[in-house]
Amino acid sequence: MAKHIFVTGGVVSSLGKGLTSASVGMLLERRGLTVRMQKLDPYINVDPGTMSPYQHGEVYVLDDGSETDLDLGHYERFTNSVLNRDSNYTTGQIYLSVITKERKGEFLGQTIQVIPHITNEIKAAVLKPAVPGVDVVITEIGGTVGDIESQPFLEAIRQMALDLGKENCLYIHLTLVPYLKAADELKTKPTQHSVGLLRQIGIQPDILICRSERSLTHEQRAKIALFCNVPIEAVIEEKDKTFSVYEVPLSLVEHGLDALIVRKLGLQTPEPDLTDWRELLERLRNPDHEVSIAVVGKYCEHRDAYKSIYEALDHGGIAHRARVRVQRIHSQQIESEGAEKLLAGVDGILVPGGFGERGIEGKVEAIRFARQQKIPCLGICLGMQCAVIEFARNVLGWAAAHSTEFNPATPHPVICLLDEQRNVTDKGGTMRLGAHPAVLATDSIAAQCYGKQEISERHRHRFEFNNDYRSEFAAAGMRIAGTSPDGMLVEIVELVDHPWFVAVQFHPEFKSQPIRPHPLFAGFVGAALRRRPARRDTTAQCQTA
Ligand code: GLN
């Protein structure tokens, strides 16, 4: 039977519960255990797919096409846990399922209540990843203890220890120990209150992970242990990481977290082998080169809107022992100030995915600049579509070319709605989603990067390259470098007369790991590095991430 670890958070949000859970998952895997990761989100949306990136950051897409919370990106970057629809549940999804059953008459006349119907549904969701062969399921509860929306989830995980036996469940609470400058002290009271709230609902945490900007003294840990009713060895410090999120697992090992977890769960495992992870941190700490990449998007002011892209760029840097300095540039700023001013001096330009017309012209301009100046350029999803629009307008001379997403009446609809989307009206979960195979052209940059011709990548789009224009594009120097296996959907375009210009309809960023950098990101950063010695001008006036 699988063991269950529940990770809750207290005091404030944004403590890094996702990163901590991912780190725990990784450490247990390194101890030879088979782990499954799961996130329960208290919001009422059925999934985050319909939410603006300003709300919760990027929407993270899985192979099976589920649109999920960005914490699942941490899980996939840190672990090899297989993620699917059962890896992310929201309040909306739980209620939708219970109400659907009620309408079908499945409850035989009962009054439907939060306890037991909603909590039973949550418990069933928590048990789904516990398939045969899985040793540990780690379930992270979104939100903060005390939130109204979290209550049913906490009640459900409280019941799990009764159902499965306390020896099979472990509760980890992540909390904040703030430093008060005026008092020059770390304060333990918020942690005491937060654990108090958990205990009120019947959960006694087994382990406390204390986020803090300073190290905790033995006395402070002893005080927290006493007031929160845990042994002192179970008060684990997690100091802020200023350098890289990939430091988190190593620091948790130093404080004995993984050893404590396996002991408490009665699991016999070897010590974790972290050689490759230490090597990765060494590469990050002591880079041989530096490279500057502009990410030209419209959600640049939001730290998490392009989370996986920023991570994948770092991974691309790791592949070349290079520090990647990301310049987040708002595409609307390009519209007002010009690509020449804002992008001069960058070594590479990345245009990410997105929806809606705002900022489109700035993205198109950034791509024009990259094409003409021969700056390495990676276009992703909407970025690929903008590359096609730019080429149509400025190389083929079709000044009003556009995507029908933005101008349905354009005389040159070079990007148009996918056939399968024509009758779709619902917004939630209806795009072309998840993993689809593609075949690469032999002579393409993409095939060189991947080192093979058959690939599978994740998608999230409604629009596509309009096949009517293929021959005109190819004749003018934009090569179709990858298509769906039946040849019907264009997946990759490249410029022939350019050192490195690759634009893809899919989202490679979702499959990049620090120890396995994605080939396209590694290729892109490599091309940017090769360009670097040639460039002189470093006048980019951009915001640094
Ligand atoms: N809006 C575009 C489409 O739906 C691009 C989507 C994206 O970048 N994820 O096709």
DSSP string, 501-526: EEEESS-GGGG-BTTB--HHHHHHHH
Residue 180 backbone phi and psi in degrees, to 5:
-100, 115
What is the pLDDT averaged over residues 24-52?
A: 94
Helices (H), 186-330: 189-200, 218-228, 248-254, 257-264, 275-285, 307-319
What is the pLDDT averaged over residues 169-193?
A: 93
CA of 507, closest atom in ligand 1: 9
Decide if 309 contacts 294 (C-beta within 8 A): no
Q: Which long-range contacts does 120-124 make (Cβ < 8 Å, 24+ apart)? A: 120/156, 121/94, 121/97, 122/40, 122/89, 122/94, 122/152, 122/153, 122/156, 122/157, 123/156, 123/159, 123/160, 123/163
Q: What residue's CA is closest to ligand 1, atom 6? A: 461
Nearest one of 308, 294, 383, 289 to 340, comparing CA atoms: 294
Nearest one of 314, 290, 362 to 528, comparing CA atoms: 290
Cβ neighbours around 408 below 10 Å, total: 11
Cβ neighbours around 283 below 10 Å, total: 18
Q: Best of 363, 388, 460 to mutate for ligand 1, by most ligand atoms within 8 A of CB?
A: 460
Query: Taking all residues of the chain, what is their mean pLDDT, rounded to a whole number?
Result: 94
Cα distances (Å, whole numbers) of residue 436 to 47, 421, 456: 21, 16, 5
What is the pLDDT averaged over residues 40-46?
A: 94
> Which residues are catalytic, by number?
381, 507, 509
CA–CA separation, 467 and 414 (whole Å):
8
Q: What is the pLDDT of residues 247-268, one digit of tens each?
A: 999 999 999 999 999 999 999 9
User: 35-41 and 136-141: which strand pairing?
Assistant: parallel
Give 381 Cα–ligand 1 centroid separation in angstroms: 6
Nearest one of 485, 525, 490 to 391, comparing CA atoms: 490
What is the pLDDT averaged over residues 307-335?
A: 96
- Of the two residues 39 and 301, the one the predictor is more confident about is 39
Given pLDDT bands bounded at 50, 70 and 90, which one contains residue 534? low
**Ligand 1 pocket, Cβ-based, cut-off 6 angstroms:** 353-355, 381-382, 405, 460-463
Tell me 321's DSSP state. T
Give 380 Cα–ligand 1 centroid separation in angstroms: 9
CA–CA separation, 298 and 319 (whole Å):
28
Q: What residue's CA is closest to ligand 1, atom 1? A: 355
Is the pLDDT score of 539 beyond 50? no
Q: Best of 378, 385, 489 to mutate for ligand 1, by most ligand atoms within 8 A of CB?
A: 385
CA–CA separation, 230 and 232 (whole Å):
6
Nearest one of 394, 333, 385, 391 to 359, comparing CA atoms: 333
Q: If you count DSSP H runs as helices and E runs as strands, how many of each does the chain have, helices first?
A: 19, 24
Burial of 462 (0-12, 13-18, 19+ CB in 10 A): middle
Category of 293 on φ-ψ map: left (φ > 0), alpha (ψ -120 to 50) or beta: beta
For the entire predicted model, the pTM comes to 0.93
Q: What residue's CA is closest to ligand 1, atom 5? A: 382
Decide if 177 contacts 188 (C-beta within 8 A): yes
Give 461 Cα–ligand 1 centroid separation in angstroms: 4
CA–CA separation, 13 and 140 (whole Å):
13
CA–CA separation, 100 and 473 (whole Å):
49
Decide if 388 contacts 465 (C-beta within 8 A): yes
% of the chain with per-residue pLDDT over 90: 87
CA–CA separation, 280 and 273 (whole Å):
13
Q: What is the pLDDT of residues 507-530, one digit of tens each?
A: 999 999 999 999 999 999 999 999
Q: What residue's CA is closest to ligand 1, atom 3? A: 461
Nearest one of 263, 261, 176, 224 to 6, comparing CA atoms: 261
CA–CA separation, 208 and 448 (whole Å):
48
Given pLDDT bands bounded at 50, 70 and 90, which one contains residue 472? very high
- The token pair at 70 is 């960005």
Q: What residue's CA is closest to ligand 1, atom 8? A: 353
Given pLDDT bands bounded at 50, 70 and 90, which one contains residue 53? confident
CA of 383, closest atom in ligand 1: 8
Nearest one of 266, 309, 313 to 170, comparing CA atoms: 266
Q: Best of 384, 461, 466, 507 to mutate for ligand 1, by most ligand atoms within 8 A of CB?
A: 461
Angle, CA 200 vertex, CA 194 and CA 205 arms, to 5°: 60
Name the least confident of 383-387, 419-423, 531-535. 531-535
Name the least confident of 40-49, 221-230, 390-399, 450-459. 40-49
CA of 405, closest atom in ligand 1: 1
Nearest one of 425, 377, 381, 385 to 403, comparing CA atoms: 385
CA–CA separation, 405 and 426 (whole Å):
16
